[in-house]
Amino acid sequence: MKIVLPDGKEMEVTQGTSGEDIAKAISLSLAKKAIAYKLNDEVYDLSRPIEKSGKFNLILIGDKESYDVLNHSTSHLLAQAIHHLYPEAKFGFGPAIEEGFYYDIDFKNPVSEQDFSKIEQEMQRLSQQNYPIVREVISKEQAKELFKDNPYKIELIEGIDDEITIYRQGDFFDLCAGPHVQRTGQIKNFKLLSLAGAYWRGDVKNKQLTRIYGTSFFSKDELEKHLTILEERKKRDHRKLGKELELFMLSDFGPGLPFWLPKGYQLRRTLEDFWLDLHRKNGYVVVETPIMLSKELWEISGHWDHYKEDMFITNADEKEYAIKPMNCPGAILVYKNSLHSYKDLPLRIAELGHVHRYEASGALNGLFRVRTFTQDDAHILLTENQIGDEIERIIKIYDYVYSIFGLNYHIELSTRPEDNYIGDIAVWDRAEQDLIRVCKATGKEFKINPGDGAFYGPKLDFKLRDSMNRIWQCGTIQLDMQLPGRFDCTYIDENGQKVTPVMIHRACFGSIERFIAIITENFAGAFPTWLAPVQINILPVSPQVHGNYANEVKEALEKENIRVVIDDREEKLGYRLREAQVQKVPYSLVIGDNECHNGSVTYRAYGKKEQTTVSLQEFIALLKEEIDNKSFNK
C-alpha cells in the first residue's frame, strides 16, 4: 500500500502499520502531539492499522478534529463513571458536538446537577487509571448478546448493516464507531455543564431520557477560558437582557408567542426597515399574503402530508384551514396572478411573512424557539440558466448584511432527505450539483450536511459565528424544482412555449425574532447606535434650571429622526448616568450651565468614562454619520 503525505511525498506501508507508526517514522515529537489520523478524509484511531492506500494526514492536538475525538472519548468516560455509580442506568448514545459532548441516559431514579461533582470525581479516578481504549470488531449476534439488557443499543444494532465495533476501557464497553484517544489518561480537563430532557432519537413518541452535557479540553487553561466564556454567555442571555432592557415579554397565556414592548418594537421595526430598503434596492417586489389558507392549498404544496403535525389547524365554513407555517405557497399564488414571459425573470418576491409552527412546549426557548415568528422571506422564480447568477447575487446580499452585524459564517450544503421528500431523485441530484457549482464559482467553501434538505429541495445553510464563538443557523438558500410544477406555474420562453420555472426560497435573518435574540447576545444588549431603541439620553443637571434647553436639544435631534429621551427625574446626575449605562443607551448628553450658555452638548458614549463637549450641530453631524454608516459602537 502507498500513502501520500501532506507534503506530497509517497510512503510504502506494510500490513499492520498503524497511524502511530507513521507518526513516529515522521517525527517522535510529532507523534506525541498526534491524536488520530485521517485517510482519504475519514478519521481513524491513531492505533488502527492502515488498510488501504490514500491521502494521509495526522490530526494533532489543537486541530478541530482533535477536539471532536477528545470530546467523544470524554462522553465514554462519563458513561463509564455512570456505569459505576448508577449500575442500573441504560445508555443511549453520546456524540461530540460543537464545543463539547453529551450522553443520553435512562436513569432508574432521577439525577440532578448536584450529582455532577460526584460523577466528575469518578471520571477523574478513571482517568488516573489510564486504561487503554481498545477497538474490537464483533458480529451482530455478539453485539446483541453483549447489549441484551439495553433496548436502546439493541435498536441501534438492528439498524447497522456495516461492521459492528465496540470500544473497551477497563471494565466498561460501549457500542461505537469511534474514533477515540488511546488511553483514558489523556482525558484530564473536563467539566459537566448541564442536563436536560431528550426524547430517544429525537422522537416525541419515544421515552424521554436524561441528556448530560459536558466539555473537554487538552489543557487546564483552555478549559478555564471556555468556562469563563460560558459565564459571559449567561450574562448575555437574551431572555435576561430582554427583560432588563424592556424589549419583549412572554406570557403563560400564549406559550411561545412573544409580546414586543415599545423598545423591542422599535428595535424590530428598525431592523425591518433596513431589510425592506435593502431589498427594494436589489430588485425585489414586496408583498403580504394571508396568514391562514385552506387545506387544499397545503395539499398541493405537500405541506399537508409532510408538515401537518407542525401546523395549527382550524375550521371555517365547514372547511379545514391551516395557519401558515411557511410563506412559499402564498408567494406562488402571487406569481400565478399574472402571466409571465422569460423577460420578467428572475421575479423576486419578498415578504416579511408572519408564520406559526406548533413547536413542542419543552423546546420553546425565549426568541430562539417560538411558535410564531416573522420570516424575512423571498421567493425567486427564474429559469434554470439563471440559477448561478441569482445565487451569487443573494450571497452578496448576505455578505453585506452579516458584515453589518460583525458576524462571520460558513456554508453547509444540505442534501436530499432519506425519506419524506417529494420529486424525482434525478431532479434532486441536478439541483444539488447546481448548488455545488455556484459555491465553487463564487469561491465559497462549504461542507456537506447529508439528508438535511427541505422536503422539496436541497439548500445552502449559512451558519453564523457570534462574538461568543457560538454557531447559529440563520440564512438559507433553498433550490426548489418541485413546487412550481405542483402549482402549474409557467412562463413563456423565447420560442413562445410554456415552461415551468425554478424557485429559490431564501431568508437572510432566518426569522426576525431569532435574529434579534442572536444580535442581542452578540452585542450584549449594547446595540450599535443606528439600531438602538433609544439612541440618546439627555440628562439636565438641574431639570428646573436646564430643562428648557434640554427640550430644545431633544427637538433638534428628533427633527433628524434620532430617537431620544430626557431623564429629568429628581435624582442625582451620577445616578442617572449610571442608569443610562445600565440601559446601554449609546450616548448620554449632560446639559448644564455651560451647555445652555454656549449652545453645546457634553456627551458620553456607552462604556466610556470620558466626556466630550461639542456644539449641538457638531454632535448631530457626528451622530448622523455613525447612523448612516451603520458603524459599530467603539
Tell me the C-alpha distance between 435 and 437, whole Å.
5
Instruction: Identify whether 379 is a catalytic site residue.
Output: yes
Catalytic residue among 76, 153, 279, 357: 357
Taking the CA of residue 468 as centre, how many other CA atoms within 13 Å lie in the half-sphere pointing to its CB? Answer: 22
Instruction: Identify whether 354 is a catalytic site residue.
Output: no
pLDDT at 633: 57
List of residues 6+ apart from 377 with CB closer than 8 A: 327, 328, 331, 350, 351, 352, 353, 505, 506, 507
Please write the tens of the pLDDT for every residue from 328-355. 999 999 999 999 999 999 999 999 999 9
Please write the tens of the pLDDT for every residue from 407-431. 888 888 888 887 777 777 887 788 8
Q: What is the 3-state secondary structure (H, E, C) of 203-251?
A: CCCCCEEEEEEEEEECCHHHHHHHHHHHHHHHHCCHHHHHHHCCCEECC
Please write the tens of the pLDDT for every residue from 72-113. 999 999 999 999 999 999 999 999 998 999 999 999 999 999
pLDDT at 191: 97
Catalytic residue among 377, 461, 466, 480: 377
**Position 258 in a domain:** no
**Position 249 in a domain:** no
**Position 11 in a domain:** yes
Query: How many CB atoms lie under 10 A from the CB of residue 106?
Result: 17
List of residues 6+ apart from 244 with CB closer than 8 A: 525, 582
pLDDT at 634: 42
Ordered DSSP codes for 592-611? -HHHHHHTEEEEEETT----
- Residue 102's φ and ψ, nearest 5 degrees, are -145, 165
Same domain, 83 and 46: no
First-to-last alpha carbon distance for the chain, in angstroms, is 58
Tell me the C-alpha distance between 541 and 560, whole Å.
24
pLDDT bin (cut points 50, 70, 90) of residue 222 is very high
Catalytic residue among 83, 186, 324, 328: 328
Catalytic residue among 72, 505, 514, 554: 505
Final residue of a structural domain among 466, 488, 522: 522
The answer to whether the CB of 633 falls within 8 A of the CB of 606 is yes
For residue 259, is pLDDT > 60?
Answer: yes
Q: Which CATH number belongs to the domain containing residue 397 in this structure? A: 3.30.930.10
The alpha carbons of the chain give a radius of gyration, in whole angstroms, of: 29
Please write the tens of the pLDDT for every residue from 575-615. 999 999 999 999 999 999 999 999 999 999 999 989 999 99
List of residues 6+ apart from 316 with CB closer than 8 A: none
- Please, is 136 exposed, middle or buried when counting C-beta atoms within 10 Å of its C-beta (0-12, 13-18, 19+)? exposed
List of residues 6+ apart from 630 with CB closer than 8 A: 404, 528, 530, 531
Same domain, 416 and 305: yes
Tell me the C-alpha distance between 152 and 23, whole Å.
38
Same domain, 213 and 274: no
List of residues 6+ apart from 402 with CB closer than 8 A: 408, 409, 462, 464, 475
Query: How many CB atoms lie under 10 A from the CB of residue 376?
Result: 24
pLDDT bin (cut points 50, 70, 90) of residue 446 is confident
Look over the chain and give the mean of its residue pLDDT values, rounded to a whole number.
Answer: 92
Tell me the C-alpha distance between 567 and 583, whole Å.
12
Tell me the C-alpha distance between 118 and 522, whole Å.
35
**Position 257 in a domain:** no
Residue that is written with C-alpha cell 403563560 in the block: 252
Query: Could you give the 3-state DSSP secondary structure of residue 536?
Result: strand
Please write the tens of the pLDDT for every residue from 104-129. 999 999 999 999 999 999 999 999 99
Instruction: Cell numbers for 174, please give them.
Output: 460501549
Final residue of a structural domain among 460, 489, 522: 522
Instruction: Identify whether 328 is a catalytic site residue.
Output: yes
Same domain, 167 and 193: yes
Query: How many CB atoms lie under 10 A from the CB of residue 495?
Result: 7
Same domain, 15 and 126: no
Task: Considering only residues 15 and 137, tell me which one the structure prediction assigns the higher pLDDT.
Answer: 137
Taking the CA of residue 616 as centre, how many other CA atoms within 13 Å lie in the half-sphere pointing to its CB? Answer: 21
| Percent of the chain scoring above 90 in pLDDT | 71
Please write the tens of the pLDDT for every residue from 152-163. 999 999 988 888
Task: Considering only residues 227 and 473, tell me which one the structure prediction assigns the higher pLDDT.
Answer: 227
Instruction: Cell numbers for 11, please give them.
Output: 510512503
**Position 88 in a domain:** yes
Query: How many CB atoms lie under 10 A from the CB of residue 70?
Result: 24
**Position 527 in a domain:** no
The answer to whether the CB of 564 falls within 8 A of the CB of 535 is yes
For residue 150, is pLDDT > 90?
Answer: yes
Which DSSP letter does residue 309 get? G
Residue that is written with C-alpha cell 449609546 in the block: 586
Same domain, 210 and 190: yes
Same domain, 317 and 192: no
Least confident of 1-5, 408-412, 511-515: 1-5
Q: Which CATH number belongs to the domain containing residue 231 in this structure? A: 3.30.980.10
Catalytic residue among 182, 375, 482, 583: 375
Same domain, 156 and 219: yes
* Angle of the 543-559 helix axis to the 616-628 helix axis, nearest 10: 40
Which DSSP letter does residue 186 get? G
Please write the tens of the pLDDT for every residue from 344-397. 999 999 999 999 999 877 778 899 999 999 999 999 999 988 988 999 999 999
Same domain, 230 and 298: no
Beta bridge partners of 454: 457
Catalytic residue among 459, 554, 584, 604: 459
pLDDT at 248: 96
Instruction: Identify whether 465 is a catalytic site residue.
Output: no
Same domain, 196 and 82: yes
Please write the tens of the pLDDT for every residue from 539-584. 999 989 999 999 999 999 999 999 999 999 989 999 999 999 999 9
The answer to whether the CB of 192 falls within 8 A of the CB of 120 is yes
Residue type, position 370, single letter: V
Catalytic residue among 76, 348, 379, 576: 379
Instruction: Cell numbers for 329, please give them.
Output: 405557497
**Position 243 in a domain:** no
Please write the tens of the pLDDT for every residue from 292-326. 999 999 998 888 888 888 899 999 888 999 999 99
CA angle 545, 547, 551 (to 5 degrees): 155
Residue that is written with C-alpha cell 448622523 in the block: 624
Q: What is the 3-state secondary structure (H, E, C) of 367-386?
A: CCECCEEEEEEEEEEECHHH
The answer to whether the CB of 51 falls within 8 A of the CB of 66 is no
Mean of pLDDT values over 468-496: 89
List of residues 6+ apart from 111 with CB closer than 8 A: 86, 195, 210
Residue that is written with C-alpha cell 454557531 in the block: 471
Query: How many CB atoms lie under 10 A from the CB of residue 177?
Result: 13
Q: Which domain holds residue 609?
A: 536-628
Same domain, 50 and 74: no
Final residue of a structural domain among 471, 497, 522: 522
The answer to whether the CB of 464 falls within 8 A of the CB of 518 is yes
Q: Which CATH number belongs to the domain containing residue 591 in this structure? A: 3.40.50.800
pLDDT at 467: 75
**Position 198 in a domain:** yes
Q: List, in sequence order, the alpha helices (H) in 442-542.
A: 483-486, 512-522
Instruction: Identify whether 234 is a catalytic site residue.
Output: no
pLDDT at 599: 93
The candidate with the shortest Cα–Cα distance to 331, out of 295, 382, 381, 296, is 381
Same domain, 151 and 54: no
Handedness of CA 508, 514, 516, 522 (dihedral sign): negative
Tally of structural domains, the chain: 4
Instruction: Identify whether 505 is a catalytic site residue.
Output: yes
